[in-house]
Structure 1
Amino acid sequence: MASHVCAHSLWVNSFESFSHQPGHTTLSLGWGHTLPIDDGINSPNGQVMIETFSIRSPNGQLTALAIPSSEPKEPTQKSVNFDLYDADIGLQKVALKKESEKGVYQIEAKSKPTYYTEYIDTAGKKRLKLTAKDVIKDIQSVLMSIQYEAFAKTYLTLGKWESPRATGKGIEIIPKTDLSNVKVGDLVEFEVLFYGKPLNVGIASMDYISASSSTFGQSEGFALMSYVQEGKARIRVQSAGQWIVSCLHKDSVTQEGDLKALYGKVDYVVNAASITFNVKN
């Protein structure tokens, strides 16, 4: 179950429309493997609990968005061939105004920290609990103990693009290329940070970004890949449409390290980040 859930990706969809001025965007959260919509946030096969979902204006003003429920529901209908579920993806519309501030709007979501502890209990049975290992009383040996968090972002640009600033929180994929005007064949560059520090491929961690689209790679089950070197990575987009760039970073918890607050609770922290954007012909 833990590996199944952590294999899922969390991302933000932003479907922009300027057919009627001043325009609007329709937002939702994606969860699973397939752009733009795969599973519900409240899927019984592996839900994710959203802690924050917000939009930040160019002047830094933060507005909370409606957070979708992560509570799994019973089927509303059952049949021989399928079951029907209410699927919550946080769908909502952001209607722009004539006086809307120009600049880059950042839309972001973050999951709640989730603990996974797989262990052998004192009776010799394998167990999995969604809690930290220090609160489990019947552990004989720990097989896996992690904290998992997911961070997802996308951007809406009105007027001139400006590269967003780092927050220093969790894992971040920061675009260094104007994402409002990416065309097929363009080289798109990113900065990849973990708690404000550049990630770097090495013996301790083989960090990389992967990139795919519903129009490239996704249906065939492959993606572009670029190793993160001194916090930098880049990909060349191959097709028009919605793209997702993601990074999964695993870090050991030590008594004196940056994650020392989690020492004794988990052995590793797994952070996942994604960024979505649209590519023009």
Structure 2
Amino acid sequence: MVVPTAADAHSLWINAHESHAHQPPHAIVSLGWGHRLPVDDILNSPNGRIVVERFAMIAPAGDRTALAPPTAALAAPIAETGDVTVFAADLGAQKLAFNADSAPGPYQIEAVSQPNFYTQYIDTQGRTRLALAPRDAVEDVQTVLMSVKYQAFAKSIVTVGDWTEPAPLGHDLEILPRTDLSALHVGDLVEVDVLFHGEPLSATAQSLDFITAQGTGFGQSDGFALFSYLKEGRAQFRVQSAGQWIIMVNHKQDVTPDGPLADLAGKAGQVYTGASLTFTVH
């Protein structure tokens, strides 16, 4: 199972690889899950599963086209030996084939996970356990170590013709690029806005919100990332290498009996929301 609060928690992202070898262009999109771009684990892995509630493409004018989501059923082995267990991999891969009359502008690809509850606890026999359930639904509990509700929002952008700033999609937590992501080169400055329920998210004394950024050629293999605090909802950084990059942000809210998340009292101690945005640097 996945524990979103852990340092090694899984992340959800979208891979969108454009091909301009022939015109009109096309893009191959798929979903990433785990720790390292572009592919790390299967989304229905026994080691940590996420269920994609919505997978779609949004055209420049705002029209939404549903994409085929990967299977939600927990993966079962298709072969086993003394050395290896083999699982089929459904990453939601599909081709977006544009035509000569396709509207120019940014086509946003979105993936939204099903909200999940995670409760880590010590049972009455002294064993540390993890349940994919709210705290009040777990039995045989001696001590609750952690109880959270988690949801992930992922985006990527495929550009046809000239870039224009994409409109917000209304995700609970959303990263909006303010830089042309279709023509980035090493050393360019990338600016983003981060919205939480439609409002700018900023670092405060209660919640030191920030973005991280890393790429296949920078940071990822060494376990570090660029870091920028959010000020009035905005952050920025310079891309350091060519290849695929990912920006991530996570926001934590505490559940209190008299707060805005009072309906979750007894079910979770915190609510974690994650968002990602992927792009390519030339």
Of 74-83 and 63-72, the range deviating more from structure 2: 74-83
Candidates 225, 228, 236, aligned match of 2:227: 225
CA-to-partner distance for each residue in 1:217-257, whole Å, 9 max, x for gaps?
11111111111112111110011111001011111123454
CA contact (8 A) 2:34 2:41 kept: yes
Question: What is the CA-CA distance between 1:87 and the residue it aligns to?
Answer: 1.1
- 1:1-281 matched pairs, under 5 angstroms: 1-3=1-3, 7-121=9-123, 126-280=128-282
| More deviation, 240-249/158-167 | 158-167
TM-aligned CA deviation for residue 174 of structure 1: 0.8
Return 5+ residue gaps in structure 1 as ranges. Answer: none
Deviation string, structure 1 residues 7-43 (Cα, Å, up to 9, x no partner): 1111000111111111110110000111111111121
Give CA deviations for 1:121-150 in whole Å, capped at 9, x if unaligned.
Answer: 566654432111233355454321110111
Identity of aligned pairs, percent? 50
Identify the range of structure 1 (163-172 vs 216-225) with the bigger mean alpha-carbon deviation: 163-172
State the SS of the aligned residue for 2:276.
Answer: strand
Distance 1:57 1:2 in 2: 33
> In the alignment, residue 136 of structure 1 is paired with which amino acid?
V
1:53 deviates by: 0.4
Q: 1:137 to 1:209 in 2, by over 3 A?
A: same
Going from structure 1 to structure 2, the CA distance change for 1:206 and 1:187 (only over 3 Å counts) comes to: same
CA offset digits 1:81-123 (Å, max 9, x no partner): 3221101100111111111111111101011001011234566
3-state SS of the aligned residue for 1:3?
Answer: coil
Consecutive unaligned residues of structure 2, counting only runs of 5 or more, are none
Asked if structure 2 preserves the Cα contact closer than 8 Å seen for 1:55 and 1:64, the reply is: yes
Letter aligned with residue 32 of structure 2 = G
Matched length:
280
Measured at CA, do residues 223 and 74 of structure 1 come closer, stay the same or move farther in structure 2, by a change above 3 Å? Answer: same
In structure 2, distance between residues paired with 1:148 and 1:112: 9
Superposed displacement of residue 173, structure 1: 0.9
Instruction: Report the TM-score, using the length of structure 1 for normalisation.
Output: 0.93
Distance 1:168 1:28 in 2: 22
Distance (Å, rounded) in 2 between the aligned partners of 1:94 and 1:258: 41
Whether the aligned pair in 1 keeps the contact of 2:110 and 2:156 (CA below 8 Å) is yes
- CA RMSD, aligned part only? 1.9
Deviation at 1:2, TM superposition (A): 4.1
Contact 2:15–2:156 under 8 Å retained in 1: yes
Cα pair 1:224 1:235 within 8 Å, conserved: yes
Distance 1:109 1:5 in 2: 21
CA gap 1:255/1:164 in 2 versus in 1, 3 angstroms: farther
In structure 2, relative to structure 1, the CA distance for the partners of 1:194 and 1:67 (3 Å cut) is same
Which is worse superposed, 86-95 or 111-120?
Answer: 111-120
Is contact 2:4–2:150 with CA below 8 Å preserved after alignment?
Answer: no
Q: 1:220 to 1:252 in 2, by over 3 A?
A: same
Partners of 2:169 and 2:25 lie apart in 1 by 29
SS of 1:183's partner is coil
